[in-house]
Amino acid sequence: MLRSHTCGELRISDIGKSVKLCGWVQKSRDLGALTFVDLRDRYGITQLFFNQEDNPELCEKARKLGREFVVAAIGKVRERSSKNANRATGDIEIEVTELSILNESKVPPFTIDDDTDGGDELRMKYRYLDIRRMPVMNNLIFRSKLAIETRKFLSSLNFVEVETPVLIKSTPEGARDFVVPSRMNAGQFYALPQSPQTFKQLLMVSGLDRYFQIVKCFRDEDLRADRQPEFTQIDCEMSFITQEDILQTFEALTKYLFKTLKGIDLPTFPRMTYDEAMLKYGSDKPDLRFSMEFVELNDLVKGKGFSVFDEAKLIVGINAEGQAAKYSNKDLKDLTEWMKRPQIGAKGLVYVKYEEDGSIKSTVGKFYSDEDIKIWLERFSAKPGDILFILSGETDATRKQLSELRLEMGNRMGLRQPHDFKPLWVMDFPLLEWDEDTQRFYAMHHPFTSPKKEDINRMLDGDHETMKALRADAYDLVLNGVEIGGGSIRIHDRTLQEKNFKLLGFTEEEAEAQFGFLMGAFEFGAPPHGGIAFGFDRLCAVMNGQNTIRDFIAFPKNNQGRDVMIDAPSPIDKAQLKELYLEIKTE
């Protein structure tokens, strides 16, 4: 070993020991007679001390060290005269007797500090240097521990980790596939898995009983802060279980992870149906760190000559408690503009200010008397000093817009503290989701999800409203407004699976061509089964009070789906294209 200790290890009790340390030069301070060098590795920073008088040659060498030089130092631990209470090793320093430079370094393009001066793109280009910074390094260490604890917990419950293939078959359902051309099969393509869904179900048919995998998944979608084209799932499946067993098992896993990695005891997770979540929060992933529930006003506001409300399907609002005095007319105008941005798309924003002195100020005072509005205020349980924000329009769109406003107000009011954790289960999702663009239904979760028993008979009734009302044994685990996991009880019967494909608009031939292998397997004794998948990167981020999953991925892609460090994707040469039957004809 080139070192006897790490740079984070030595304490006052080590004084007098001869030690060998290796690491990177964080900083060197030349004070004339004395030189101090901060030596850094993954574990911490230790101060090296050089004395001009005792050893001028060595001191000279130390003075010439550049930032990020890799060095080995031999010396004795001694007590520091001026201690640094902010550093674990701050009581000691090393009086160096030998110093070797293991490698030099160019000046790094940004400072290797917790708060760096490097912009996003630059840090991505030099990601290996970015990872040297403690916050990024610690994220990766956390991720590793989370994976290890997940494996420990699940294997203690008899789950078996099985690797499923990465080169699979493209299917049109779900997100867009990444595809890989096959050299040995002209004009044919593999797809990278969006998830191991069908394989884990086949493993249940095999009798594996309890499966898990910490697995890469690939989806060719437009990117956002919490999305990457390749991401990791904790993917699980169980046989001979009910929905209740799955909820219990994975609630226990989540609690175990919070306890072991964060020392936090989570209480029993509340449960809410999808319908209730939409009604109260306008979202299937409500942030329960604060209340601010939706209040509907349809029955109170219609027929008073205000056509906007009269024509709306839904009139619904929230009460921002104690905020009236904080919002000037200009602030309210700005907030209205914010709501009108295309990302949210509200047509306007009605507000009712319930001033401290009990007076009422509102944008709709022309149409509603103070007496009318007092009834609204009562419904919101509003007190003087509160302000109501009210939206109206089509039901789904209005709820979605108000949900955005609720989250924004939660932010502004400091109600979304990153280290306050509020998990819940959202259950009884609709089986189907209508898509306006393609004018057809899609599976809300995926086509293998079982409808609720009581809905099976109504499945093929065909009428639009009935189809919308079908419910599935599908559930999501939501944490602080983020979907952490989702799963369902599966169909395990060929006839029902065929029926479901028909509902989704597949012809018999299409269903057979794409999923014949799965339906075939159901004919060989498929056990009842179900499962769940956790977004592993998201779980890492949320557990650390952050929302950018990129910070928890060693080598992530940027928003254009590029790895700017290795410069991928990139063109391939003509011969390679030809071999793959992908020649691009240029005139």
Spatial strand order of the sheet with 529-535 comes to: 160-161, 210-218, 230-239, 529-535, 482-489, 474-479, 423-427, 271-273
DSSP string computed for 398-445: HHHHHHHHHHHHHHHTT---TT---EEEEE--BSEEEETTTTEEEESS
CB of 533 to ligand ASP, least distance (A): 4
Q: Which is nearer to ligand ASP, 282 or 487 (CB)?
A: 487
Interaction pattern, residues 152-191, with ligand ASP; x per rule: CB under 6 A: ----------------------------------------
- Residue (of 453, 45, 432, 96) closest to 274 by Cα position: 432
CB of 241 to ligand ASP, least distance (A): 13
Q: Which is nearer to ligand ASP, 39 or 532 (CB)?
A: 532
CB of 195 to ligand ASP, least distance (A): 3
Q: Which of 44, 90, 451, 486 binds ligand ASP (CB under 6 A)?
A: 486
Q: Is 487 in the site for ligand ASP (CB under 6 A)?
A: yes
CB of 488 to ligand ASP, least distance (A): 5
C-alpha span between 360 and 349 (Å, rounded)? 17
Round to the nearest angstrom and report the end-to-end CA distance of the chain: 62
Count of positions on this chain that bind ligand ASP (CB under 6 A):
8
Q: Which residue has the tokens 């685990």?
A: 477
Q: Is 535 in the site for ligand ASP (CB under 6 A)?
A: no
Q: Which of 26, 139, 164, 195 binds ligand ASP (CB under 6 A)?
A: 195
Q: Which of residues 505-534 bind ligand ASP (CB under 6 A)?
A: 531-533
Which tokens go with 185?
């099969």
Q: Is 488 in the site for ligand ASP (CB under 6 A)?
A: yes
Q: Is 232 in the site for ligand ASP (CB under 6 A)?
A: no
Which tokens go with 218?
């690939």
Q: Is 450 in the site for ligand ASP (CB under 6 A)?
A: no
CB of 486 to ligand ASP, least distance (A): 5
C-alpha span between 136 and 84 (Å, rounded)? 23
Burial of 167 (0-12, 13-18, 19+ CB in 10 A): exposed
Q: Which is nearer to ligand ASP, 254 or 488 (CB)?
A: 488
By the 8 A CB rule, do 180 and 189 touch? yes
Q: Is 447 in the site for ligand ASP (CB under 6 A)?
A: no
- Residue (of 436, 530, 458) closest to 490 by Cα position: 530
Other Cβ atoms closer than 10 A to 481: 20
Q: With CB under 6 A as the contact rule, which of the stretches 49-57, 348-356, 399-407, 482-490 interacts with ligand ASP?
A: 482-490
Q: Which is nearer to ligand ASP, 360 or 541 (CB)?
A: 541
**Residue nearest ligand ASP (C-beta atom):** 195
Q: With CB under 6 A as the contact rule, which of the stretches 68-76, 243-251, 377-385, 486-494 interacts with ligand ASP?
A: 486-494
Q: With CB under 6 A as the contact rule, which of the stretches 178-186, 425-433, 480-488, 576-584 interacts with ligand ASP?
A: 480-488
CB of 485 to ligand ASP, least distance (A): 8
Q: Is 197 in the site for ligand ASP (CB under 6 A)?
A: yes
- Residue (of 428, 427, 444, 454) closest to 504 by Cα position: 444
By the 8 A CB rule, do 450 and 489 touch? yes
Alpha carbon 515 to chain centroid, angstroms: 30
Q: Which is nearer to ligand ASP, 195 or 401 (CB)?
A: 195
- Residue (of 470, 444, 435) closest to 455 by Cα position: 470
Q: Which residue has the tokens 């850094």?
A: 40
Q: Which residues bind ligand ASP (CB under 6 A)?
A: 195, 197, 486-488, 531-533
